Structure 1
């Protein structure tokens, strides 16, 4: 059975093998159509300005090397807030994954996930769900939550309570 409407996807990653793999995987499912594969941020923004897509899948290699603030993802979300973004990442560190989640992506999947877990993240994001995590990503983030709950963020110093809202670093 051929679907009349295919879910239009743009895939962005700086590694050709990942682009090819994601494109092949999506196109093996008849309801998806990868209409663009791009290798850098400029190409991605140009494609997104020229056409509409149902889903953006971005490899986290698109961020600047060593970047942990996910400024690219935040800029993408600000420029195209109506198009959901699924981040496809090799990251395993809970603090970095939490920062990626705060950047505004709709879903996060690991490069170590099975294809079914990745598909489930995409399906849930396409249905309108936010903060969708693959089971592997959720487990890695769960370790961060466990560490935070083990350490009292506002210890009692006699009658004085200390709450830190923001760190300000000199320029």
Structure 2
């Protein structure tokens, strides 16, 4: 059975191999649809202004994405506040990761992460959760002993109904 509605995603990174990898991964999942792959900030802004998207995946290789204290990410969040941004980053410094979150990232994922962890971050961010990180990102922060608040728990706001309870409500 094909889903009628798919979660539309725009992926931005200046490295073709990353764009191809992310696009391939998302398209393997029936619920996601990559509507655009862009290689620079200007292309990303043009795509976002032309059509709405459910989520932005911003790669660490996007030109201008990390310059000037994450100014591009801040601008992106200010211009498109309803569209969550997941940053796909190879940064390992706890303070830098915290800065990325303060700049407006809804989720952080390492490119060294397993696919299931990436999917879990996407699910949590799409459900409205903020400051979600993958386990590897959390380990970078824990190893540094940083007093940074990251949410890696798999529960959804304390709600954990089982399938039987969920079906019984309908």
Provide the TM-score with structure 1 as the length reference: 0.81
Measure the CA separation in 1 of the matches of 2:146 and 2:82.
34
3-state SS in 1 of match to 2:129: coil
Query: 1:48 and 1:148, CA in 2 relative to 1: closer, same or farther beyond 3 A?
Result: closer
3-state SS in 1 of match to 2:91: coil
Rg: which structure is higher?
Answer: 1
Q: Give the equivalent residue in structure 1 for 2:166.
A: none
1:1-171 equivalences under 5 Å are 1-64=1-64, 67=67, 69-144=69-144, 146-147=145-146
Q: How far is the alpha carbon of 1:67 from its aligned partner?
A: 3.3
Range that drifts further, 75-84 or 61-70: 61-70
Provide the TM-score with structure 2 as the length reference: 0.82
Count of paired positions: 148
Query: 1:51 and 1:65, CA in 2 relative to 1: closer, same or farther beyond 3 A?
Result: closer
Query: 1:122 and 1:4, CA in 2 relative to 1: closer, same or farther beyond 3 A?
Result: same
CA RMSD, 1 decimal? 1.7
Q: How far is the alpha carbon of 1:148 from its aligned partner?
A: 5.5
3-state SS in 1 of match to 2:61: helix
For structure 2, the residue ranges without an aligned partner over 5 or more in a row are 149-170
Q: Is 1:106–1:132's contact at 8 Å kept on the other side of the alignment?
A: yes
TM superposition outliers: structure 1 runs of 4+ over 6 Å: none
